[in-house]
Amino acid sequence: MRSKKFLQAEQTRFAWDVQGLVAGVDEAGRGPLAGPVVAAAVILDELAPIRGLADSKKLTSRQRERLYDEIRAKALCCSVAQASVEEIDALNILQATLLAMRRAVHGLRLKPGKVLVDGNRLPPLDVLSEAVVGGDAKVPAISAASILAKVTRDRLLQDLHLRHPEYGFDRHKGYGTAQHLAALRRMGPLPDHRRSFAPVAQLLEQSAT
């Protein structure tokens, strides 16, 4: 009779050594002046297809919310991670984005055999990976990741709006719109603003003089 310890080891090996799984990875929030950058990794189930997957930017908010729930319910596994404002300011936005992507991949319950990443840069990973320019519109798993990342970040910015409604985060989601820049000039940056981004850095410099 096999020992309990042996059975646990066998189950663990099966869970992490599945061959042929492909994960899609994408991010949301590289350009805004506030909030974290969010990345997601998704391994879809070929036996449970999801209709309507597309680049999250091409979908309405209602479509993204519906697909978010369906992806979470049907995907073999998915993981969402982020890099904080402090990490963005310390590392720069590109390196912080790659860090969030790496965290998302490492957070997957199943280890993929290959990772497909939207864009032209790859995070450091211990599995075979490939950058796919425009992948969020070409590869369903990347589309799914883009939706999870976008919805998650939008929810984070909605929470920020509830704490600081005067900045209008529910509308601009942290991007440098005229409304957002006017609020920054009027009230100054919050701890949630990225101090390494030029509009915020310039305001901080002006207030220090």
Domain boundaries, given as residue ranges, for the chain: 13-208
The pLDDT, as a whole number, for residue 19 is: 61
| H runs (alpha helix) in the chain | 4-16, 61-74, 85-91, 93-106, 135-138, 140-163, 169-172, 178-187, 198-208
> For 45-92, where are the alpha helices, taking DSSP H only?
61-74, 85-91
User: Phi and psi of 151, rounded to 5°?
Assistant: -65, -45
CATH class of 13-208: alpha beta
Tens-of-pLDDT digits for all 209 residues of the chain? Answer: 444 333 333 333 334 444 689 999 999 999 999 999 999 999 999 999 999 999 999 999 999 999 999 999 999 999 999 999 999 999 999 999 999 999 999 999 999 999 999 999 999 999 999 999 999 999 999 999 999 999 999 999 999 999 999 999 999 999 999 999 999 999 999 999 999 999 999 988 877 66
pLDDT of 20 reads 82
Query: Tokens 């519906």, residue?
Result: 66
Task: Specify whether the CB–CB gap between 170 and 154 falls below 8 A.
Answer: no
- Across-strand partners of 129? 115
Model pLDDT, residue 208? 66
Handedness of CA 194, 195, 201, 206 (dihedral sign): positive
Predicted TM-score (pTM) of this structure: 0.88
